[in-house]
Amino acid sequence: MTTITNHLPTAELQRLDAAHHMHPFTTGDALNKKGARVITKARGVFLTDSEGIEILDGMAGLWCVNIGYGREEMAEAAARQIRELTYYNTFFQTTHVPAIALAAKLAELAPGDLNHVFFAGSGSEANDTNLRMVRTYWAQKGQPERNIVIARKNGYHGSTMGGGSLGGMAPIHSQGGLPIPNIHHIGQPHWYAEGGDMSPEEFGLQRAQELEAAILEFGPERVAAFIGEAVQGAGGVIIPPSTYWPEIQRICKKYDILLIVDEVITGFGRTGNWFACETFGIEPDIITVAKGLSSGYQPIGGSIVGDKVAAVINACEFNHGYTYSGHPVAAAVALENLRILEEEKVLDHVREVAAPYLKAKWEALADHPLVGEAKICGMMGSIALTPDKASRAKFASEEGTVGLICRERCFANSLVMRHVGDRMIISPPLVITPAEIDILIERATKSLDECLAAVK
Ligand code: PLP
């Protein structure tokens, strides 16, 4: 049998990939026609592909490589832990030091009384945990009929049965029998696309009040929780109007509805604070984390749970858990990641250097003829492509056609910038330097120019 390594020709790697590897969110047909780009190594903010081309990763992988690629200390932390205790579980009254240390560290970093952690292997799994946890909470309190979870259209919470159901994405709901029962989706706070003539503030308030209307329609005695991303990521980096979260918070408090904030993308520095709940002044009952928790060096996620919910869940046996809940190697790597974020003052770098520098350059892209708006929150930004700035019009072509052209121009220009429909989005590693931001903006501008020429 041929040994498959980096040294095989790209075409052969692509042939084997298309023949045997089933990819997430990709058609086999696309793989057969073009072949996937083969990424072979990465350092800092740059990827290298099998042709030796260096690409600036404007997405930090899938919004996760917060400390940048290839940190030696992270490899050492994993190796040390594999030698010490490769694996043990945390079921049935056993534990181990990496899980204890990581849970304690997260309790220290998380705001308010979020002092308890239930570990998972990913963001999707953590949201599945949340769904079962909030329903179990109310059942334990003698209100089992309180089982409806309210979420949002165009939200993303993963692609498992629970995560995909909590999310509000039509392509995900169209496959595999989603959403599961008793999950209800209200409108998203996406002013640019749906706000019409309202001001962003009026619209934010109106969209938040859809939560109150839904609670009153079902009856508060049937609603367990509301879940939302602090800033919608996969939906297109949609930064909510300033009025949105305070109103959501008010409504949850008024009707005693649990508030779950999904910080899988926004956690660990992406908005300039450890958690976006601090950025937006939200006081959640549960936070979902993954991605930046380990900077993507190991698969790990979790639910950080407040005292009120944890007291009820800990008082019963919560019949839930994953073989890899709190996996010692993943936990040790996550701890090392948190140490790097803290000791290297990465959040200060975001707040004082990277985010202000990127914001100025990113917002200036709004002057480009193809760009209707350019918004950014910390280190996650979006631009809306439009044929007519004044009316925020959509293209005549099917939604996403122009976005795809732009993404392909970016790729050809050695920049990873993702498209969501006709919005372009970035979420680079937090450690990106001003000089690297200049490269990002230069490549993005060139790609926008080429895209404009292609759609004219
Ligand atoms: N929640 C949010 C906000 C996400 O953006 C994602 C992934 O992009 C998830 C949950 C799912 O995480 P995972 O892919 O680790 O299951």
Closest ligand 1 atom to residue 124 Cα is: 16
Q: What is the pLDDT of residues 68-84, one digit of tens each?
A: 999 999 999 999 999 99
262 lines ligand 1 (CB under 6 A): yes
- Provide the b/e sequence for 339-375 (b: ≥16 CB within 10 Å): ebbeeeebbebbbeebbebbbebbeebeebebbbbbb
CA of 156 to the centre of ligand 1 (A): 7
State which of 65, 128, 265, 427 you would mutate to test the pocket of ligand 1, scoring each by most atoms of that ligand within 8 A of its C-beta.
Answer: 265
Q: Which strand ranges, in their side-by-side order, compose the sheet holding 418-420? A: 371-377, 380-385, 423-426, 418-420
Task: Look over the chain and give the mean of its residue pLDDT values, rounded to a whole number.
Answer: 97
State which of 23, 124, 322 you would mutate to test the pocket of ligand 1, scoring each by most atoms of that ligand within 8 A of its C-beta.
Answer: 124
Nearest to 170 by CA among 236, 262, 235, 266: 235
Q: What is the pLDDT of residues 198-241, one digit of tens each?
A: 999 999 999 999 999 999 999 999 999 999 999 999 999 999 99
Length in residues, the chain:
456
CA of 235 to the centre of ligand 1 (A): 11
290 lines ligand 1 (CB under 6 A): yes
- Mean pLDDT within 413-426: 98
Question: 3-state class of 219 per DSSP?
Answer: coil
Lowest-confidence region among 43-52, 100-109, 282-291, 387-396: 387-396
371-377 vs 380-385, strand pairing mode: antiparallel
State which of 291, 297, 298 you would mutate to test the pocket of ligand 1, scoring each by most atoms of that ligand within 8 A of its C-beta.
Answer: 291
CA–CA separation, 57 and 65 (whole Å)? 10
CA–CA separation, 381 and 306 (whole Å)? 30
pLDDT at 317 over 70: yes
pLDDT at 86: 98
Full DSSP string of 271-288: TSSSSHHHHHT---SEEE
Closest ligand 1 atom to residue 229 Cα is: 3
| Residue 143: band (very low, low, confident or very high) from pLDDT cuts 50, 70, 90 | very high
pLDDT at 456: 82
CA–CA separation, 187 and 280 (whole Å)? 19
Q: Which long-range contacts (CB under 8 A, 24 or more apart) does 316-320 make?
A: 316/136, 316/140, 318/118, 318/132, 318/133, 318/136, 320/129, 320/132, 320/133
| Residue 1: band (very low, low, confident or very high) from pLDDT cuts 50, 70, 90 | low
The complex's ipTM works out to 0.99
179 lines ligand 1 (CB under 6 A): no
